[in-house]
Homo-oligomer: A and B are copies of this chain.
Amino acid sequence: MIELNQRAEAVLRQTVARLSDGDNLTNICPSQWRGEPLPSQEAVRDIVTLSRALVFPGFFGDSDVTRENVLYFTGLWMEKLYHLLVEQIHAGISMSTCTDSMPQYDAIQRLAAEKALSFIETLPELRRVLNTDVEATYHGDPAADSVQEVIYCYPGIKAIANYRIAHELVKLGVPIIPRMISERAHSETGIDIHPAATIGESFTIDHGTGVVIGATAILGHHVKIYQGVTLGAKSFDLDESGNPIKGIPRHPIIGNNVIIYSNASILGRITVGDNAIIGGNIWVTNDVAPGERLIQAKADNILRIKQ
């Protein structure tokens, strides 16, 4: 087996050389990867876990929480969260500024610490708002036996929690990390909410797989959506190279108390008024008036073949 081993040595050595050649690593910011940290998927995972544990102690993170030790757990989780946030916000800022004249390490570190603290200060309010989502979900689903079941078992709550965490970071101007956080929820739940979207309180998602909510969508309070719902763009304005222009509002505005049933698609910068109801599987590209109800007409395009 000598020949094969010699071939193995040669193949491995040559492929290592080619893959580690700096000229083939064009995606990495040259100034950055000399020592500045890159964002870490594992660290972002831990940020999500710690934030969820701080908001819902006992349900996420360590399940041994008691009245006596909740202070101790909270204290140590908070400290870990703070350090991870500073590190990852720093990495995100470095990465997003690497093509320009980069700020100094110390300046980025100070900025990252300030943003991390500002985020941490929002955690009590984050818990209050997430509890409105939990309550709305519990009351709105006949299959939910308790609010505890909702927190433990509803993917909608996990996705909304990540969205609300990520959205706070977007508001603080943190680059890339919010998208990594929302993508973790997407992977976990099949619910893809862009962290730049604006969503009111008492928000409910049932089942949720396949839900998409775009970056410029605006949702009011007490909105309820089901699996497969898309709040998307209808088309993009293109620049002279034929590429979409970034940053233009292109997703719908949804009012208060709106219900959108499974697999409906609402596309473009249209407005769905308060108290509207969108039936399942419906394709909507025009405004919907307040209180209006859209349902599938009789399914006359279905053939029933008796065998």
Are A262 and B262 in touch, CB under 8 angstroms?
no
Rounded to whole Å, the gap between the CB of A151 and the closest CB of chain B is 6
A148 x B29 contact (CB < 8 A): yes
Known: A187-B155, A190-B209. A304 touches B292 (CB 8 A): yes
Interface residue tally of chain A, by bracket?
35 or more
A244 on the B face (CB < 8 A): yes
Q: Which residues of B contact A306 (CB under 8 A)?
A: 289, 291-293
Interface residue SS majority, chain A: mixed
Shortest distance between the CB of A269 and any CB in chain B (Å)? 13
| CB-CB nearest in chain B for A59 | B38
Residues of B contacting A56 in the complex (Cβ-Cβ under 8 angstroms): 27
- Least CB separation from A68: chain B residue: B9
Indicate with 1 or 0, residue by residue over A18-48, a CB within 8 angstroms of chain B CB atoms.
1110101111111001110111111100000
Interface contact A230-B230, CB-CB below 8 Å: no
Report the separation of the CA atoms of residues A301 and B261 in the bound assembly, to the nearest whole angstrom. Answer: 17
Give the Cβ gap from A228 to chain B, nearest Cβ, in Å: 6
